[in-house]
Chain A
Amino acid sequence: MNDHEDAEGMRGMSNATSRSLFIRFAGLRELGIFIFLLVVVLIISIRSPVFLTLDNIHDIGLDAAILAIVAVGEMMVILTGGIDISVGSGIGLSGMIVALIIMNAWGIPPIVAVFMGTAIGGVLGMINGILVVKAKIPPIITTLGTMSIYRGATFIVNYTVNKGKWVAADRFAPAFRTFTRDTFFLVPNLILITVIIYIIFYYFLNHTVTGRKIYAVGSNPDGARFAGINVSKIMFLPYLLTGMLVGTGGVLWVSRYTSAQTDAAQGFEFMVITAVVIGGVKVTGGSGSIIGVLLGSVLIGVINNALNLVRVSPFWKLAINGFIILMAVIVDKYIQEGVNKRLLERRKI
Chain B
Amino acid sequence: MRRNNQQLKTSSFVVQWEFILLLIFILFNFAMSFTHSNYLRVTNLFDTTFIFSEKALVALIMTFIIITGNIDISVASMMGLSSVVLATLFRAGMNIWPASLVGLGVGTFCGFLNGFIITRVRLPALIITLANFSFYRGIAYVILGDEAVGGFPESFLYLGRGYIGNSPVPFILVFFIVLAVLAGIILHRTKFGRTVYAIGWNEHTCYASGVPVDRIKLLLFTISGFMAGLAAVFITSRIGNTRPNIATGFELEIITIVILGGVMITGGVGKMWGVFLSIFLIGTIRYGLGLHNIPGQYMLIVTGSLLIISILMNNLIVSYVEARYLRAMAALEQGEQLTEQISSRERR
Contact = CB atoms under 8 A, between A and B. Distances in A.
Interface string B116-147: 01000111101110111111111101100110
A318 B126 CA distance: 19
A156 B301 CA distance: 10
Given A283-B127, A329-B128, A144 B259 contact: yes
Contacts of A136: 315
Interface stretch (B152-160, B171-179, B305-313): B305-313
A142 B305 CA distance: 9
A141 B308 CA distance: 7
A343 B139 CA distance: 39
B266 interface: yes
B298 A318 contact: no
B141 A137 contact: no
Most chain A CB within 10 A, of B131, B256, B315, is at B131
Contacts of B265: 138, 140-141
B304 A145 contact: yes
A330 B133 contact: no
B138 A329 contact: no
B134 A283 contact: no
Contact of B308 (A137, A270, A283, A318): A137
A194 interface: no
Nearest to A270: B130
Nearest to A328: B131
A220 to B, nearest CB: 15
A277 interface: yes
Contacts of B37: none
Given A138-B265, A330-B121, A273 B135 contact: no
B139 A274 contact: no
A334 B123 CA distance: 10
B301 A283 contact: no
B141 A142 contact: no
Interface in B268-298: 297-298
A322 B264 contact: no
A149 B300 contact: yes
A152 B300 contact: yes
B304 to A, nearest CB: 3
B303 interface: yes
Size class of the A contact interface (CB-based, 8 Å): 35 or more
A25 interface: no
A316 interface: yes
Nearest to A81: B266
Given A155-B297, A273-B130, A319 B135 contact: yes
A48 interface: no
A349 interface: no
B173 to A, nearest CB: 27
A197 interface: no
Interface string A255-287: 000000000000000100110010000011000
Nearest to B295: A155
B79 to A, nearest CB: 15
B142 A319 contact: yes
Contacts of B128: 326, 329
Given A141-B308, A144-B256, A152-B301, A319 B141 contact: yes
A274 B297 contact: no
A137 B311 contact: yes
Contacts of A152: 297-298, 300-301, 304
Interface string A314-332: 0111111111011001100
Nearest to A262: B297
B135 A131 contact: no
Contact of B121 (A138, A321, A333): A333
Contact of A138 (B123, B139, B264): B264
A331 to B, nearest CB: 10
A137 B315 contact: yes
Query: Which of B134, B135, B142 has most A Cβ within 10 Å?
Result: B134
Contacts of B146: 315
Contacts of B134: 318-319, 321-322, 325
Given A319-B138, A325-B134, A141 B121 contact: no
A271 to B, nearest CB: 10
Nearest to A316: B142
Residue of B126, B259, B303, B311 contacting most chain A CB atoms (<10 Å): B311
A153 B138 contact: no
A334 to B, nearest CB: 8
Contact of B127 (A137, A144, A277, A323): A277
A319 B139 contact: yes
Interface in A141-173: 141-142, 144-149, 151-153, 155-156
A278 B131 CA distance: 11
Question: Which of A144, A155, A333 has the largest number of chain B CB atoms within 10 A?
Answer: A144
A270 B124 CA distance: 15
Given A140-B265, A315-B142, A318-B141, A326 B304 contact: no
Given A136-B315, A152-B300, A141 B131 contact: no
Contacts of A1: none
A345 B138 CA distance: 42
> Nearest 8 A-B pairs (CB), nearest first?
A319-B138, A322-B135, A322-B134, A148-B304, A318-B138, A152-B301, A145-B304, A152-B300
23 contacts: A135-B308, A135-B312, A137-B311, A137-B315, A138-B311, A140-B265, A144-B304, A144-B307, A145-B304, A149-B300, A153-B301, A274-B130, A284-B124, A315-B141, A317-B138, A318-B141, A319-B139, A322-B133, A322-B137, A326-B117, A326-B132, A330-B123, A333-B121
Given A270-B133, A277-B130, 17 more contacts: A131-B308, A135-B315, A138-B311, A141-B308, A141-B311, A146-B308, A148-B301, A148-B304, A151-B300, A153-B301, A270-B130, A283-B124, A315-B145, A315-B146, A321-B138, A326-B117, A326-B132
